[in-house]
Every structure is written in C-alpha cells, then in structure tokens.
Amino acid sequence: GLMFHELAHQVLYIDDDTAFNESFARAVELEGVRRWMDLHGTPKLAQNYLTQKHYEKDFLQLVKITTEQLKDLYQEEIDAGEMRQRKAQIFDNMRNQYQQIKISWDGYDAYDNWFAKDLNNAKLGAISIYRDYVPAFQALLRENNNDLNAFYAAAERIGELPKEQRQKEMQRLGEMTNLSSSTD
C-alpha cells in the first residue's frame, strides 16, 4: 500500500493542497492494493488485509468521535483553565477507549506509537486530511469505469482548477458517493 501511495504522488501532485494530494494517493493506494490482491493475493493475505482495514476503521472512528467532542467543547463559553482540563479529559478518554478497542483486536498494536506521543488538535487533523477526499476520488474512479489512465487524467484536470473550484468539485464528487451509498 505504501508503495502505491508514494508512487501516486509521482503521478499527480498539486502545490499547496495537502488534502487533495494525500486523498488522491490514498485512493490510488486502496485501488492498487485491491487490484494487486485480485492478481497475487492469497486467501490468508486477503483476510489479514481486511482485518487490518477493520482495525483502521475503528481507529478512524475513534479519531472522528474525539474530533467532534473537541469541536463541541470549543463552542462552549468557558474559561481557559476549564477548557484545558476538559480537553485533557477528552484525550484521556480517547486513550482509554483505544485500550478497550485493542482488547477486541487481540492485542494488535499498530497505533500504540501514535497514542504514546502527545495528543493534540494538529495530530487529529493530520489523520483526517489524508482521507478527506478519498470517497470523492473513488467516485471519480468509478465515473471513469475503473480505468486508471482515465482516472489520472480526470484527477489532473481537477487539480488544474483554481483551489476553490477544485474543492467544490471534490465536494460534488463526495456528495455523489454519499447519495449512491444512501440508495444502496
């Protein structure tokens, strides 16, 4: 996956748009691994990969919940001392929830280093920025009949748009994904 991700940056990279670049690379990574598994994967390897993706989904859900809790906290009109205390409680709760999740993972510990270091808003934001537009890029791939060359060309055309238009197009594609998944 890492190889597909890093190679994707060689195919397309837009200056000053981390969300676009990282989401594009993540979408290529996921598609690359899927295709590689179809050709070369064994049932055991496929199961291991699916298990890892399940753990990642749990982790991402925990990050999302924590981010939402912090957003709610920042909307409150409280003094700075109480804000810091409650923020620390939210991060402590996140760590405790992670330990509970790990129990169901039979000790899988790939995220231990992430939790071992200081938790802060920037760290949470970095997680989401790598995934913000992944559903939009997946919709763009489907829109191009899963043809990677056509997908790359379409992504490049979007990348050439001014940033505001690019963001609107990515939001539109993401909304298409939300609409199609709500009708499934």
pLDDT in tens, 28-79: 999 999 999 999 999 999 999 999 999 999 999 999 999 999 999 999 999 9
List of E strands, the chain: none
Mean pLDDT of 130-153: 95
pLDDT, tens digit (0-9, with 9 covering 90-100), for 77-132: 999 999 999 999 999 999 999 999 999 998 899 999 999 999 999 999 888 888 88
Single-letter amino acid code for the residue at 116 = A
Alpha carbons 177 and 19: distance in angstroms, whole number:
18
Q: Are 89 and 70 in contact (CB under 8 A)?
A: no
Q: Decide if pLDDT at 157 tops 90.
A: yes
Q: How far is CA 29 from the centre of its chain?
A: 12
